[in-house]
A and B are shown apart, each in its own frame.
Chain A
Amino acid sequence: MKSDTEKDETELEDTILGTALARAIETQPLRETAFASSRVATRPADRTRPFVWQALGVAAVIVVGLAIGATVLGQRRTPEAAVATQPVATLPPAQTAPASTTPVAVPPIPVTVFFARTGLPPVAAQVLGHAATGSTNTPSDQIANRIGALWDASGSDVPSGAQNLFAHGAPNGSLDQAIKIDGTTATVDIQTDPPLAPRTTAEAQEIVQQLVYTVTEEPGIDHVVLLSGGKPMALGAYAAPTGPLARWDVAGYAVKAFTGAFQLDGTSAPTQLTTSYAREAAPGLARFTIAVSGLPAHTAPAFSVSAYDHSNMPGASAELEITVPQGEDTTTVAAQVDQPPLRSIAVGKSNAVPAQTYRLGLDHLWPWRAVVLYDPTRIAIDIGGAPSAISSDQNVVLYAPAPNGEVGHTFTLSGAARTFEGTVNYRVLDDRENAVLYGYATATVGTSGVWGGYDATIALPASLTGNVTVEVFEVSPKDGTETSKVAIRVKVRSG
């Protein structure tokens, strides 16, 4: 028995090592030579033997079908331009550059811009871009096109629950912009009429957030300097940010997303996998769910997850890769999703080690967590969530109720935790900070890199109304102190 377990662990390690290596090889920065410029195409025909292409086709298809990177390769073509515009300073000059693009007017095609959501990360949406007549397709033009589109976006362009503070109240205004690119930093000088006039600090921050996210949507650009007429950006009465800003600087999360890899040493057995995706599983939270059938009830499946803060998948700037050893998914297909933050999904299989792999291409690497859920057994990849409902050490997160939302006298408390033995404590305080209710819930899995899901039904005393504070925390097994605390305010509906 012992040796079987060890063998399984070695196999799992090989899975991860092999997957990581394949991934490292696949994502190396490089320049490719198009067939037309290749040595074999430019070489004079010096042999006359006829080709047997049908046979070759069959052989090649078999080999490609076996390849660990088969879907990776299938997905790779589209984002090639994006890869090429990323920092390539250390690369040798391309032996043969791809045919240069002829200057073409940019037609009004949909472009991706970002809208603000109060207390939540910004959300991407596609709106119609500007027709930049006679313009070439340079990154500066693309950025100008996106900012212009954002300036014009209103009404049905704005996703529900979001707002466009950049163009707030300026339907007939004008926009002047000058864009300069230096390496991976874009300096954007914006002057608007009427001037931007945020009403609160939060609104000022959300305008900056919208602009930084929208500008860095351009592949290869990761920092933005915002100016107005050469001076720090004019934001009415509010302090303008200085210095180059990356998405993380304005994301609104106090915690940073984990990059790297970990695995759950759960049960590895042949399983059938099916997937689903919910863009708004909780406020600001996207959830990719992998349902695992074939395991005994309440058994955690073995899997591993790697997070990358860059990606060559279509439209993505970050990526999560999930590997389920001995998993088999026959239904999920590679797809461009455009359901922000998820942009695309690639589905992979390895013949070297039996495993199913999913790659999720994301807008941005929001704080994320891999959660094990039961009844039925699922692996949930949770991306984002309300920033105020994530504990500062990223061990407890609350999904429901929503911060600043309303609840009835009976409601469900739910979230994810990675606490000692999966125990999560909760408490409800009235508006005078008196505890009116106390209890605990048990998450599906205890302390590990992976999170367990928890939920509890809360029944408040009928007399309680108005604003209450809901706290969720861990009681330290060492000294009894309350740690990993999340506290949110909600309003209790009367009646």
Chain B
Amino acid sequence: MAIDPSEALRQLYEREYPRLLRALTAMGGDGDAAEDAAQEAFVKAYQHGVERIGRPAAWLLVVGSRELFRHHRRARRERDRWEAAAQASGGASAPFDAAADRADLLAALRELPERQRAMVVARFYYGLSYDELAGAFGVAGGTVGATLHQATAKLRQLHLAGKLARGAMR
């Protein structure tokens, strides 16, 4: 009885909520939907029993992204809004503005199929290994590699990597 469960739950929330919210916002482009999905993921973790979740960070991310993508229509509408904003901010006069570049990158992320989006975020933002990704997403190890390869190729195909690498070499 030494540890107050609500105190420990608060610790989990404070540790995992900020990046979960960022990851979900990046995937869907909608702050409201991301907040909703993040909150729902914690409620689900609580109901499920946190002690039964081996890797809470990955678990919350997978559950949260599933919640997020249940609201297809809202996500799509928000994506359109985001893209309009990205276009407005990334005009031709500012070829290498860092903020516009990041908006481009996030917009490109949202061009990927939903599952690829979640895996890319889990890989590069959460830093999960292939094994951890396979476990979290319930797929074979080879599938993880192939999916990520496809996803990064697509991102690169959108000239983002090249644009980043070219940078100062005017």
Residue numbers of A with Cβ under 8 A of B are 13-14, 16-28, 30-33, 35, 38-41, 43, 46-47, 49-53, 55-57, 59-60, 62-64, 66-70, 73, 76, 90-92, 95, 258-263, 304, 306-310, 350-352, 448-449
Minimal Cβ-Cβ distance residue in A for B57: A63
Q: Which of B9, B35, B125 contacts A33 (CB 8 A)?
A: B35
Q: Check B129 against A39 for contact (C-beta < 8 Å).
A: no
A26 to B129, CA, bound (A): 19
Q: Which of B12, B21, B85 contacts A60 (CB 8 A)?
A: B12
Q: Check A67 against B98 for contact (C-beta < 8 Å).
A: no
Rounded to whole Å, the gap between the CB of B87 and the closest CB of chain A is 14
Q: Which of B5, B129, B166 contacts A262 (CB 8 A)?
A: B166
Given contacts A39-B39, A95-B35, contact A56 B160 (CB under 8 A): no
Q: Check B164 against A20 for contact (C-beta < 8 Å).
A: yes
The interface residues of chain A lying within 8 Å CB-to-CB of B5 are 50-51, 53
Apart from A17-B155, A40-B45, A352-B123, what are 19 other A-B pairs with CB-CB below 8 Å? A17-B160, A21-B120, A26-B125, A33-B39, A35-B17, A41-B9, A41-B13, A47-B47, A66-B126, A66-B129, A73-B19, A76-B18, A260-B98, A262-B167, A263-B165, A263-B167, A352-B124, A352-B127, A448-B169
Q: Check A59 against B49 for contact (C-beta < 8 Å).
A: no
Q: Check B127 against A67 for contact (C-beta < 8 Å).
A: yes
Q: Which of B8, B109, B168 contacts A258 (CB 8 A)?
A: B168
A53 to B26, CA, bound (A): 30
Q: Check A30 against B39 for contact (C-beta < 8 Å).
A: no
Flag whether B140 is at the interface (Cβ < 8 A).
no
Minimal Cβ-Cβ distance residue in A for B46: A40
Q: Which of A28, A259, A262, A448 contacts B22 (CB 8 A)?
A: A28
Interface of A is mostly: mixed
| Contact sample, A vs B, 11 pairs, CB 8 Å cutoff | A31-B31, A33-B35, A33-B39, A35-B14, A41-B9, A43-B46, A60-B56, A69-B125, A258-B167, A259-B98, A263-B165
Q: Which of A19, A35, A57, A261 contacts B10 (CB 8 A)?
A: A35
The interface residues of chain A lying within 8 Å CB-to-CB of B99 are 308-310
Residue numbers of B with Cβ under 8 A of A are 3, 5-6, 8-10, 12-19, 21-23, 25-26, 31-32, 34-35, 39-40, 42-43, 45-47, 49-51, 53-58, 85, 96-99, 101-103, 105-106, 109, 120-121, 123-129, 132, 152, 155-156, 160-161, 164-169
Minimal Cβ-Cβ distance residue in B for A51: B5
Rounded to whole Å, the gap between the CB of A346 and the closest CB of chain B is 15
Q: Check A23 against B102 for contact (C-beta < 8 Å).
A: yes
The interface residues of chain B lying within 8 Å CB-to-CB of A21 are 105, 109, 120-121, 124-125, 155
Given contacts A16-B161, A26-B125, A351-B129, contact A60 B16 (CB under 8 A): yes
Q: Which 8 A-B pairs have the closest CB atoms?
A: A449-B168, A52-B51, A262-B167, A18-B124, A260-B96, A24-B102, A68-B127, A262-B168
Q: Check B46 against A47 for contact (C-beta < 8 Å).
A: yes
The interface residues of chain B lying within 8 Å CB-to-CB of A23 are 102
A259 to B90, CA, bound (A): 14
The interface residues of chain A lying within 8 Å CB-to-CB of B156 are 13, 17
Q: Which of B14, B46, B125 contacts A68 (CB 8 A)?
A: B125
A319 to B79, CA, bound (A): 28
Q: Check B105 against A73 for contact (C-beta < 8 Å).
A: no
Q: Check B124 against A43 for contact (C-beta < 8 Å).
A: no
Given contacts A307-B98, A350-B127, contact A25 B26 (CB under 8 A): yes
Q: Check A351 against B35 for contact (C-beta < 8 Å).
A: no
Residue from the set B3, B5, B127, B161 with the largest chain A CB neighbour count within 10 Å: B127
Given contacts A30-B21, A32-B21, A260-B96, contact A38 B123 (CB under 8 A): no
Rounded to whole Å, the gap between the CB of B102 and the closest CB of chain A is 4
The interface residues of chain A lying within 8 Å CB-to-CB of B25 are 25, 28, 30
The interface residues of chain A lying within 8 Å CB-to-CB of B102 are 20, 23-24, 27
Minimal Cβ-Cβ distance residue in A for B129: A351
Q: Which of A25, A38, A307 contacts B121 (CB 8 A)?
A: A25
A68 to B120, CA, bound (A): 13
The interface residues of chain A lying within 8 Å CB-to-CB of B129 are 66, 351-352
Q: Check A449 against B31 for contact (C-beta < 8 Å).
A: no
Minimal Cβ-Cβ distance residue in B for A259: B98
Q: Which of A53, A68, A308 contacts B98 (CB 8 A)?
A: A308
A30 to B6, CA, bound (A): 26
Rounded to whole Å, the gap between the CB of A424 and the closest CB of chain B is 19
Q: Which of A40, A57, A259 contacts B42 (CB 8 A)?
A: A40
Q: Check B6 against A41 for contact (C-beta < 8 Å).
A: yes
Q: Check B123 against A64 for contact (C-beta < 8 Å).
A: no
Q: Check B161 against A17 for contact (C-beta < 8 Å).
A: yes
Q: Check A22 against B39 for contact (C-beta < 8 Å).
A: no
Q: Check A64 against B167 for contact (C-beta < 8 Å).
A: no
Rounded to whole Å, the gap between the CB of B112 and the closest CB of chain A is 11
Minimal Cβ-Cβ distance residue in A for B6: A41
Rounded to whole Å, the gap between the CB of B147 and the closest CB of chain A is 14
Q: Check B168 against A28 for contact (C-beta < 8 Å).
A: no
The interface residues of chain A lying within 8 Å CB-to-CB of B46 are 40, 43, 47
Given contacts A18-B124, A66-B127, contact A261 B35 (CB under 8 A): no
Rounded to whole Å, the gap between the CB of B42 and the closest CB of chain A is 4
Minimal Cβ-Cβ distance residue in B for A67: B127
